[in-house]
Amino acid sequence: METKHSLFKSFKFAFDGLESAFTKGRNFRIQITIGAFAVVLGILLKLSVPEWLDLVLVISLVLILELVNTVIEALVDLVSPEIQEKAKIAKDVAAATVLLASIGSVIIGALLFLPKLLNLLV
């Protein structure tokens, strides 16, 4: 019975983390909104299964990296409340991972959506 209880607690902690990221993280909310827009656009443009896999993977990657960035920033703030060069580097590099994933997601989104949108215009 303890295992089941622990499993439910683990899921609760995970959902608490998502709630915290959503309520306290402006960038996470922005990324969720853009991801939701991409999903709606995918439905409207009738993406194929492989295209859906690409879309879900890239949305997940950006959201996961934003969560990891949030963790790194919180930990750095906890262990190094004063401004230090190495703390700044850690936070900046963590933010850069999200930036790179976001740029990649825009490119993938353009490759997925632009041909379909152009076909609607022709």
Whichever domain contains 99, its CATH number is 1.10.287.3610
SS (H, E, C) the chain: CHHHHHHHHHHHHHHHHHHHHHHHCHHHHHHHHHHHHHHHHHHHCCCCHHHHHHHHHHHHHHHHHHHHHHHHHHHHHHHCCCCCHHHHHHHHHHHHHHHHHHHHHHHHHHHHHHHHHHHHHC
Q: Which of 2, 19, 51, 66 is catalytic?
A: 66
Is 66 an active-site residue? yes
Mind listing the pLDDT tens digit of every residue in the chain (122 residues)? 455 678 899 999 999 999 999 999 999 999 999 999 999 999 999 999 999 999 999 999 999 999 999 999 999 999 998 889 999 999 999 999 999 999 999 999 999 999 999 999 98
If one counts the domains in the chain, the total is 1
Q: What is the pTM of this model?
A: 0.89
Question: 90: domain range?
Answer: 2-121
Question: In this predicted structure, what is the pLDDT of residue 122?
Answer: 85
